Structure 1
Amino acid sequence: MLSLNKLVGQHESSLLLFTILVIFFIALFRSLISCLSRKRRRLPPSPLKLPIIGNLHNIGLYPHRSLWHLGRYFGPLMLLHFGAAEALIVSSADAAREIMKTHDIIFANRPRSRAFQKLLYNYKDIASAPYGEYWRQMKSVSVLHLLSNRRIQSFRVVREEETALIIDEIERASSSSSPINLSEIFATLTNNVVCRVALGRKYGGGSGRKFSRLLSEFVELLGVFNVGDFIPWLAWLSHVNGLEARMDKVAKEFDDFLEGVVEEHMAQQKKGPNTDSVNGTEQKDFVDVLLWIQRENLAGFKIDRVIIKAVLLDVFAAGTDTTYTSLEWAMTELLRHPNVMKQLQKEVREIAGEKSVIKEKDLEKMHYLKAVIKETLRLHPPIPLLVPKESAQDIEVMGYDIAAGTRVIVNAWTIGRDPMSWKQPEEFIPERFLNSSIDFKGHDFQLIPFGSGRRGCPGILFATTINELFLANLVHKFDWTLPGGAKEKDIDISESIGITIHRKFPLIAIAK
């Protein structure tokens, strides 16, 4: 009996050893096959990677600048490893054209992100939604009913009224030569316009300050590096460092705010037509339109409360933060280049004539103004690393093999400063656009601050109209100087950290 037990035990031990050896050799075989496969693939150039973290050590506080430096050595298509994820870095107009036009549908998807999942209702918004039928339907709803030319033009009075109110505020400050925080002015203007257009009214006082703080933290969290996105087994770190708790808090606060807005609109609709609180006319804001689409079932599927709130979040994230960032950098460059400022004032004041305020109908003739906006977006794209894409299948790009699931990061900041596309790329020269057909609408890949292709920003007209109108009024009404006798070269142009690149310090100037 003992010998039988011993024999059985030896058999089980041998079977276990055999199983372990089989697993080991299978793993070794798969590793060798993978290695040989990778050798057969022609991969883009890549810097040396470290174990576990890959190339994360190559990315500093300003990723667009870090990737620009790396791209100078490794070329316009560069493969980096962020933990377990492969990332293709695109740094030239030709490479961007391959990704966003030639193979647009292959790269139409979005990679997963814990911040997008938490803050954007589990990818129910338009910007982060996976490519598919849901995204196509929601993009169509947005383009047809929220951001169409007709809809945007319907809010012309809102933009002109809010511009006039801010100009009056600056005029009062100019009477005493008080320094003006232009960064704060730009944020207030864009926030007021977007609130009236999207929600039907402004949110001032304590609720306005709370809303601005919430929006600022929301945008910051979208750009925060989360190690769990790239090294899944370290995802627990976001619970330790408080990132998960911050995202939960901001998500809940924004959800509570938007829930209140939707409830308010539903109650108002029961009473009668919505009336704009400033001009007293009937005005359908974005919430009204989305509720109407929900009632009429125009999307082809049920739009629930969560989807409405997710779309509104997209409007705020894209409509306020990026828009006021462009204004901030445009005015910074004008103050740094007095000759450009004078040329712009000359054009605006000649076209305006005796008018005290510029209207939107005057903007069409202001070609130098449009050139200033383009040059600002070339040097300072609001989101320098466009929202990442992801390859849906194995694909060859410019002779390199790109695997399915590779995330793609287009460095619009680098492309806008590429000496192969631009003469004197580091200089602010609006004149380069005066006799040029190059535009930022996604067809000219040397200038793509709003992206291009299927996943390009649908709100380009919305943003640029605000920028042109307010900038024209700023330079028409006032002459501008720096406080304390500071010179142009003294202006600090340090950048903030985050998905949207603002000035690190507020822009302060004096209006006369």
Structure 2
Amino acid sequence: MADPSHTYLYLGIALVSLFVVLLSKRRRSPEALRLPPGPWQLPVLGSLHHLAGQLPHRVMRDLARRYGPVMMLRLGEVPTVVVSSRDAAREVMKTHDSAFATRPLSATMRVLTKGRDIALAPYGDYWRQVRRIAAMELLSARRVLSFRPIREGEVAAMLRAVEDAAAHRRAVDMQAVLSALVSDTTTRAVMGDRWKDRDVFLREHDRALQLSAGFNLPDLWPSSRLAGCLSGVVREAEKCRDKVFGILDGVIDQHLQKAESGADVDGEDLIDVLLRIRKEGGLQFPLDMDAIKAIIFGIFAAGSETSATTLGWAIAELIRNPKAMQKATAEVRRAFASDGVVSDAAVGELHYLNLGNRETLRLHPPAPLLVPRECREPCQQVLGYDVPQGTQVLVNVWALGRDERYWPNYSPEEFHPERFIDGEAGSMVDFKGFNFELLPFGAGRRMCPGMAFGLANLELPLASLLFHFDWEVPGLADPADLQGRPWASADGATALGLQKLGASKICIPH
């Protein structure tokens, strides 16, 4: 039997050694990091198994209820902090806005945009330059106002198409109609008149969005060459970008030829604006053609499908809530009955409809997790937790919009525009970046500069559809049952009661 004194000696030596090791680590790192809590992780996969097969923003909301409003995940090898409370969002987007103002560039997005568009450019002088161009020239209130004839023309064309289908009792896929409306409006605002490669451009653009939205191997394990080899997504993204940029080369050449010929052009589109700024010079970073193409690509990515999806949700929520539909429809028809058509200039005065739009954006923000941010300084604190440099930060605005702590008077899961009426708890809450419980467009330095453009593409089509058509759900005893149904019929009469709207359909987004 071993001598007990030897056992105690060995144990003492082991304890002293452990103390020395811990002391040396403490000397090397004087301040131990207090990282946010999070769910258990697997080797290599990290936290990905918690998200498998589910919508990320929903899962992250549920996990945050267990682990807190500042939560650490590891998506593959990418450290990610998820923020899910108003106070935490304020610290990221206001208190420490500068520290979290840059963007993480995934392998896929680096290929698609080269980090030169407005939304994804790294924080610095180049980003300040393109942001200033966007705010003063491309997406200013004056520029959005100049596109009013385009919006009115495209909405009128959409209404004629729906009326024609109704007259012939043809089914209409309203989600496709809304997507085409927003795409055509954006195309004409950015590039001018329609052009021959429009459909190819939109198809490749949609494919690029699909590639950038998924959990791709090179994005989750950026340091692994094997991940890049096993996945063809980067090569596919390169092909997609080359096709899109090749089409844009032709469109830009047409604009240059028109400018050189001195042809009379009706107003400036956004390509004209960028080419004019390029010609004027005087920029710290001259706008080369790659930068112009990246900016155009980014405007399409941010302003087309997001507006169409929000518009679809707005109609879906009104159909699901007949009382709200009745109020919104009555307001629109009262305002424009004498004109017989909805005016873009006056649509902003529709008080209840605009409350409904605000409520739609609360329940269904276009980007539920916003565009990711990245901590660019050695270490920042959010609600007392350390966020190391290089950590990706996601703000779960979908969870903020449904948090009962911030929306007490009505169920936060239900559609109630009345929550924003004067005297209610939410009456002072707006989406312009000052109220951190409602952030569909973000806040701070990296707030979406296209808010006015996106809202204009939402307000006029929605008001026009309510003015000209009665929307119903035949065959459903309770319209609230529309929840969970992928399709619903909208069978009603025009505003004047002269013509029936046939078996048109509206897609309920997921």
Q: Same fold (TM over 0.5)?
A: yes
Q: What is the aligned partner in structure 2 of residue 429 from structure 1?
A: 416
CA separation of 1:404/1:345 partners in 2, compared to 1, >3 Å: closer, same or farther?
A: same
Quick check: 1:419 aligned with 2:404? yes
- Where 2:82 maps in the other structure, the secondary structure is strand
**1:210-229 maps to which residues of 2 (within 5 A)?**
210-229=200-219
Q: Distance in 2 between matches of 1:232 and 1:219?
A: 19
Cross-structure match for 2:503: none
Q: CA deviation at 1:324?
A: 0.6
Who is 1:150 aligned against? 142
Give, in angstroms, the shift of residue 493 of structure 1: 4.2
Q: Following the alignment from structure 1 to structure 2, what is the Cα–Cα distance between the partners of residues 172 and 210?
A: 27
Distance 1:250 1:368 in 2: 42
Verify the 8 A CA contact 2:473 2:488 in the aligned structure 1. no
Q: 1:35 to 1:337 in 2, by over 3 A?
A: farther
Q: State the one-letter code of the partner of 2:245.
A: D
Q: Where does residue 509 of structure 1 map in the other structure?
A: 490
Matched, 1:348 2:335: no
In structure 1, which of residues 58, 66, 69 is the aligned counterpart of residue 59 of structure 2? 66
Shift of 1:295: 0.4
Question: Distance between the aligned counterparts of 1:365 and 1:358, measured in 2?
Answer: 12
Give 1:13's aligned residue. Answer: none
In structure 2, the CA distance between the partners of 1:208 and 1:485, relative to structure 1 (3 Å rule), is: farther
After TM superposition, the structure 1 stretch with the greater mean CA deviation from structure 2, 382-391 or 435-444, is 435-444
Structure-1 separation of matches of 2:352 and 2:263: 42
Q: Over residues 83-137 of structure 1, what are the superposed CA-to-partner deviations in whole Å (9 max), with x where a residue is unaligned?
A: 33321100011110110011100100111201111111x1011111110000001
SS at match of 2:175: helix
Q: Would the alpha carbon gap of residues 480 and 69 (structure 1) be closer, same or farther in structure 2, given more than 3 Å must change?
A: same
Is 1:261 the counterpart of 2:261 in the alignment? no
Shift of 1:462: 0.6
Q: Distance in 2 between matches of 1:203 and 1:509?
A: 33
**SS at structure 2 position matched to 1:361:** coil
* 2:496 aligned residue: none
Which of 240, 243, 247 aligns to 2:237? It is 247
Deviation at 1:208, TM superposition (A): 3.7
Q: Which moved more, 1:32-41 or 1:380-389?
A: 32-41
Residue in structure 2 matched with residue 405 of structure 1 by the alignment: 390
2:295 corresponds in structure 1 to 311
C-alpha distance after superposition, 1:448-480 (max 9, x if no partner): 011110001000011101211110000011112
Q: Of the candidates 132, 141, 157, which is equivalent to residue 140 of structure 1?
A: 132
Per the TM alignment, residue 511 of structure 1 is displaced from its structure 2 partner at its CA by 5.0
Preserved contact between residue 111 and residue 388 of structure 1 (Cα < 8 Å): yes
The total of aligned residue pairs comes to: 467
Identity of aligned residues (%): 39
Flag the 1:354–1:230 CA change in 2: closer, same or farther, 3 A: same
Q: Which segment drifts farther, 177-186 or 316-325?
A: 177-186
Is the contact between residue 218 and residue 228 of structure 2 (CA under 8 Å) also seen in structure 1?
Answer: yes
Aligned to 1:372: 356
Counterpart in the other structure of 1:440: 431
Instruction: Go from structure 1 to structure 2 and tell me whether the alpha carbon gap of 1:218 and 1:486 turns closer, same or farther (over 3 Å shift).
Output: farther
- The whole-number CA distance in structure 1 between the counterparts of 2:442 and 2:264 is 35
Matched, 1:361 2:345: yes
Partner of 1:476: 467
Alpha-carbon contact 2:107-2:222 (below 8 Å) kept: no
User: Aligned partners of 1:33 and 1:85: how far apart in 2?
Assistant: 25
1:186 aligns with 2:178: yes
- Equivalent residue for 1:119, pick from 84, 87, 112: 112
Q: Which shows bigger deviation, 29-38 or 257-266?
A: 29-38
Q: 2:101 aligns with which of 108, 131, 137?
A: 108
Provide the C-alpha distance between the structure 1 equivalents of 2:208 and 2:490, rounded to a whole number of angstroms. Answer: 28
Q: What's the TM-score once normalised by structure 1's chain length? A: 0.86
Unaligned runs of 5+ in 2: 1-16, 494-510
Structure 2 CA distance for partners of 1:38 and 1:348, relative to 1, 3 Å: farther
> Equivalents in 2 of 1:78, 1:45: separation in Å?
5
1:159 aligns with one of 135, 151, 164: 151
